[in-house]
Amino acid sequence: MSPSAQAAEGLYCSVDFSGRNCLYATMEACRAALGVGQGDCVLNPAALPAPTGAARFCLAERWKLACDYATLAGCQRAAAPRHAQCVDNPNYR
């Protein structure tokens, strides 16, 4: 498998002493695989869909990157019940 194909496998990557593994569909699965204090879980930019919307913050889910939130707090309120994550809109100007 090529590095680019491997990078695009999961929405979340574990990052620890052994490197970066992008194998996880959810943040919870990534954290469970790492264990407490063993590294970090981050969004895999290669797996994110194209953003929609023009606001500053985006709600990132496996099937969409909805950039509809003017504030980080508003995005986080929407993300919490969905177990999603908020990120900066890569196209924000």
Give mean pLDDT in consecutive 10-residue pieces for the chain, a chain of 93 residues. Answer: 52 90 88 84 86 94 90 96 88 85
39-44: list long-range contacts, CB under 8 Å, 24+ apart: 39/14, 39/15, 40/14, 40/15, 40/16, 41/12, 41/13, 41/14, 41/15, 42/12, 42/13, 42/15, 43/11, 43/12, 43/13, 43/85, 43/87, 44/7, 44/8, 44/9, 44/10, 44/11, 44/12, 44/13
pLDDT of 8: 53
pTM: 0.67
